[in-house]
Amino acid sequence: MTNTGSPVSAPPVKQGGAAPRHKHVSSREDRRRERRSRWYQRDVRWSPYGFVAPFFLFFGAFSLFPLLYTGWASLHKVSLTAPTDMEWAGLHNFTRLLEDDFFWNALRNTFSIGIISTVPQLLIALGLAHLLNYKLRGATFYRVAMLAPYATSVAAATLVFVVLFGRDYGMINWFLGFVGLDPVNWHEGMTSHFAISAIVIWRWTGYNTLIYLAAMQAVPKDLYESAALDGASRWQQFVHVTIPALRPTILFTVVVSTIGATQLFGEPLLFNPGGGANGGPAHQYQTLGLYLYEQGWVNLHLGRASAIAWMMFLILVLIALVNWLISRGMQKRELGRKTARRRS
Amino acid sequence: MSVLDSDRATPARTAPEPGGAGHRTGRGRPRTRGRAGGAGGTLHGGKLTYAVLFLVTAIALFPLFWTAVAASRNNTRLAEMPPPFWFGGNLFKNLGIAWTDANMGLALLNTTIVAGSIAAGTVLFGTIAGFAFAKLRFRFRNLLLMLTIGTMMVPPQLSVVPLFMAIAELEWTNQLQAVILPTFVSAFGVFFMRQYLLEALPTELIEAARVDGASSLRIVWHVVFPAARPAMAVLGMLTFVMAWNDFFWPIIALTQQNPTVQVALTGLGRGYIPDQSVIMAGALLGTLPLLLILTVFGKQIVGGIMQGAVKG
């Protein structure tokens, strides 16, 4: 790469467009060249904006603007039946929300299902990625097969799992009976959280496995070689080489899965036999996403729905912050341990 | 070179970053055989590894297999113990009922249009914007990029209320553009293409085209698109899958009169048709197109997810 581009066809840009020294040039050839170079400069200068413009046009209109406008709407009383009639309500939607038992119930359920679905899912994915990182016959087949649940929609997966989790004729209760256990009513209290989490785990484990696998393949081989020379067992290599190298990826998947868990909506909606947004008769598996939908599109309070949306956002920001603090703390501890070991 | 970097010349920019895609794929292939190198892609999997992977594959595929089994039975058989493990004779009858009564035929057509448009928009605008972010210099570039990445993780719930107000005002309820336009472009698409083009498109190539007097549009058409084609294909497939399975916004914007697959399935789940085997047939119909895509392009989709992972 050199810096000697042809100055004839592409003269360096002088600020201010046409330079005055060109004024006396009268030959048509020169004028045309000048015009072309000016056009060329304009093209170089403005085309980047043209290239990002279509994206930002849609992005601004359908993502950024609604995001902010949700905040504005949350300060109003807005009914679904007349969504353009907004009546100023101040922080009423928020204060009302904090006094609402159903909000806290939905928050608890979201956390509970979120943890039950995210933690096992990521641990299983980590283990599976480790296995897929071996030299395998038919490696592509396993990877593609694990993606089949990811290609299955929330709606289709939930409809099938509702039948599989059926109390009287479901496959899972039949299997429990087969191994000598009592059947479980999968729609009650905490057990419903396990059933819903099972759907989430089924759909997303393969996807996360591939992400971990990609990160594992990027770990330099010599790290393992020197660890092996130091006499580290395969398990020790996994714990002391693979996991630390994967820390950024693990953090990434934790954040993404947490965001997914906070939004959980389709699974609890369709897990309810009638498809109601209440999350079961006792609201036992109503998540925040479902509660938002119920407030907005069943009870017709769009202002309250906006307030719930902003609370969800706030929770996400808090979780991201906690994640970041934990990972930074872990990094510091690791660093400290390394220097301590070196000193001893 | 002169024009492109006239304001801030940074020759280092043009050199592809070390440890790029080429390196990585090379690393995936083992250089040592047997136990010499330790873990990490060089060891052969043992019997236990295969056993676990077989079990996991079975768990991943069984619900899909069983959907087909249940769709081939009837409602009475699904209310008996033990549940069926093999196909019955009602598959085509149930698929037919789902196709007409549950509106799956229209839903499949609608979803193909919606997901196809969204994939096309995301790929096209993602590629040119990603190209600008990767290879061109302009004011506010980093700021705009930060804005794009920063909002990548904002949940869709944060925009449904204003979007709903907008489509109510425009009287777009039940029309396909109401579900196409809000996700017509994606921040992920821009970011994905930027990361790819950063490494895959040599800056020299753009400069050479400039020296030859090519306009920016010609450069996009003749240099950027050919270089970006593999990533465009992967992004297109990933977006198609995501758009096909999008749930939250479509069930707000559309009704059973003009549904996408997910809306029609929601209708089924809400007891629109109380026959379990027909519901399973609907679920099967709504999933088959994507399973077909996965079967044909599985390797590319896996590659795309893994590529996005390392860079993201």
The mean pLDDT value for B206-213 works out to 86
For residue A216, give Cα distances in angstroms to A145, B53, B247: 20, 18, 32
The mean pLDDT value for A101-122 works out to 93
The mean pLDDT value for A19-23 works out to 50
Mutate to test the interface with A, among B1, B3, B270 (most CBs of A within 10 A): B3
Is A5 near chain B, with CB under 8 Å?
A: yes
Q: Which residue of A has its CA nearest to B44?
A: A135
Q: Are both A135 and A179 inside the same structural domain?
A: yes
β partners of residue B44? A135
Q: Are both A51 and A126 inside the same structural domain?
A: no
With 0-12 / 13-18 / 19 or more C-beta atoms within 10 angstroms meaning exposed / middle / buried, residue B129 is: buried
The mean pLDDT value for B253-261 works out to 90
User: pLDDT band at residue B210, thresholds of 50, 70 and 90?
Assistant: confident
Of A152, A160, A259, the CB nearest to B153: A259
At residue A308, the pLDDT reads 92
Q: Do B144 and A266 touch (CB under 8 A)?
A: no
B144–chain A nearest CA distance, Å: 9
Domain presence at residue A148: yes
Short-list B170, B162, B249, B168, CA closest to A74: B162
Domain ranges for chain B: 44-311
And the tokens for B183? 């996700």
User: pLDDT band at residue A7, thresholds of 50, 70 and 90?
Assistant: very low
Q: Do B63 and A296 touch (CB under 8 A)?
A: no
Between the CA atoms of A229, A233, A234 and A240, what dihedral angle is there, to the nearest 10 degrees? -80
User: For B56-65, B173-182, B266-275, which range has the lowest pLDDT when averaged over its residues?
Assistant: B266-275
The mean predicted confidence, pLDDT, of chain B is 81
Q: Are both A56 and A201 inside the same structural domain?
A: no
Q: Are both A56 and A141 inside the same structural domain?
A: no
Q: Do B37 and A221 touch (CB under 8 A)?
A: yes
Q: A179: domain CATH number?
A: 1.10.3720.10
Is A125 near chain B, with CB under 8 Å?
A: no
Contacts of B133 in chain A (CB under 8 A): 52
Q: Which residue of A has its CA nearest to B1?
A: A5
- Tell me the three state secondary structure of residue A172: helix
Q: Do B245 and A154 touch (CB under 8 A)?
A: yes
What is the Cα–Cα distance from A291 to A107, expressed in whole angstroms?
Answer: 9
At residue A157, the pLDDT reads 93
Domain presence at residue A12: no
Q: Do B305 and A134 touch (CB under 8 A)?
A: no
Is A201 near chain B, with CB under 8 Å?
A: no
Q: Do A54 and B125 touch (CB under 8 A)?
A: yes
User: pLDDT band at residue B75, thresholds of 50, 70 and 90?
Assistant: confident
What is the Cα–Cα distance from A128 to A212, expressed in whole angstroms?
Answer: 9
And the tokens for A130? 């480790």
Domain presence at residue A10: no
Is A257 near chain B, with CB under 8 Å?
A: no
And the tokens for B253? 């914007």
Q: Are both A176 and A54 inside the same structural domain?
A: no
The mean pLDDT value for B112-130 works out to 95
Whether residue B135 contacts residue B145, with contact meaning beta carbons closer than 8 Å, is answered with no
In sequence order, what are the residues at sequence separation of 6 or more whose Cβ sits closer than 8 angstroms to the Cβ of residue A131? Answer: B45, B49, B52, B53
pLDDT in tens, B36-46: 334 445 677 77
Q: Do B39 and A9 touch (CB under 8 A)?
A: no
Number of Cβ within 10 Å of residue B96's Cβ equals: 15
Mutate to test the interface with B, among A37, A56, A63 (most CBs of B within 10 A): A63
Mutate to test the interface with A, among B6, B158, B244, B262 (most CBs of A within 10 A): B158
Side chain identity at B171, as an amino acid letter? Answer: E
What is the DSSP code (8-state) at residue B208? H
Domain presence at residue A212: yes
What is the Cα–Cα distance from A184 to A165, expressed in whole angstroms?
Answer: 9
Contacts of A217 in chain B (CB under 8 A): 24, 27-28, 41, 306
The mean predicted confidence, pLDDT, of chain A is 83
Q: Do A9 and B213 touch (CB under 8 A)?
A: yes
User: pLDDT band at residue A25, thresholds of 50, 70 and 90?
Assistant: low
For residue B81, give Cα distances in angstroms to A36, A168, B168, B263: 81, 8, 48, 31
Q: Do B181 and A62 touch (CB under 8 A)?
A: yes
Q: Do A249 and B309 touch (CB under 8 A)?
A: yes
User: pLDDT band at residue A193, thresholds of 50, 70 and 90?
Assistant: very high
Write down the CATH number for the domain with range B44-311: 1.10.3720.10
Helix (H) or strand (E) run with residue A77 in it? strand A76-79
Flag whether pLDDT at A22 surpasses 60. no
pLDDT in tens, A248-285: 888 888 888 888 888 899 999 999 887 788 888 888 99
* Domain limit, last residue, from A40, A64, A88: A64
Domain presence at residue A18: no
Q: Do A273 and B169 touch (CB under 8 A)?
A: no
Q: What separation, in Å, do the N-terminal and C-terminal C-alpha atoms of chain A show?
A: 49
Q: What is the reported pTM?
A: 0.83
Q: Are both A104 and A248 inside the same structural domain?
A: yes
What is the DSSP code (8-state) at residue B181? G
At residue B36, the pLDDT reads 35
For residue A13, give Cα distances in angstroms to A8, A20, A39, A258, B139: 12, 14, 11, 49, 15
The mean pLDDT value for A129-155 works out to 90
Flag whether pLDDT at B59 surpasses 90. yes
Contacts of B66 in chain A (CB under 8 A): 160, 164, 171
Q: Which residue of B has its CA nearest to A50?
A: B129
Q: Are both A299 and A227 inside the same structural domain?
A: yes
The domain total for chain A is 2
In sequence order, what are the residues at sequence separation of 6 or more whose Cβ sits closer than 8 angstroms to the Cβ of residue A93? Answer: A74, A75, A76, A77, A303, A304, A306, A307
Domain presence at residue A266: yes
Flag whether pLDDT at A204 surpasses 90. yes
pLDDT in tens, B144-167: 998 888 877 777 888 888 898 888
And the tokens for B133? 């972010």
What is the Cα–Cα distance from A129 to A143, expressed in whole angstroms?
Answer: 10
Short-list A301, A308, A310, CA closest to A86: A301
With 0-12 / 13-18 / 19 or more C-beta atoms within 10 angstroms meaning exposed / middle / buried, residue A188 is: middle
Flag whether pLDDT at B91 surpasses 80. yes
Whether residue A106 contacts residue A288, with contact meaning beta carbons closer than 8 Å, is answered with yes
> Which has the higher per-residue pLDDT, B132 or A97?
B132
Q: Are both A31 and A146 inside the same structural domain?
A: no
B27–chain A nearest CA distance, Å: 7
* Domain limit, last residue, from A64, A85, A112: A64
List the domain range (segments joined by +) for residue A141. 96-343
Q: Do A296 and B158 touch (CB under 8 A)?
A: no
And the tokens for A214? 């990609």
Whether residue A121 contacts residue A256, with contact meaning beta carbons closer than 8 Å, is answered with no
Short-list A54, A25, A51, A50, CA closest to A37: A25
Q: Are both A58 and A113 inside the same structural domain?
A: no
Q: Are both A44 and A172 inside the same structural domain?
A: no
Question: Tokens 């010599």 correspond to what residue?
Answer: A222
Q: Are both A172 and A317 inside the same structural domain?
A: yes
The mean pLDDT value for A119-144 works out to 91
At residue B158, the pLDDT reads 85
Question: ipTM of the predicted structure?
Answer: 0.81
The mean pLDDT value for B84-104 works out to 83
Question: Tokens 């009546």 correspond to what residue?
Answer: A87
- Tell me the three state secondary structure of residue A76: strand
Between helices B47-71 and A189-217, what is the axis angle to 10°? Answer: 130
Flag whether pLDDT at A93 surpasses 80. yes
Contacts of A293 in chain B (CB under 8 A): 252
Q: Which residue of B has its CA nearest to A62?
A: B182
Domain presence at residue A72: no
Domain presence at residue A330: yes
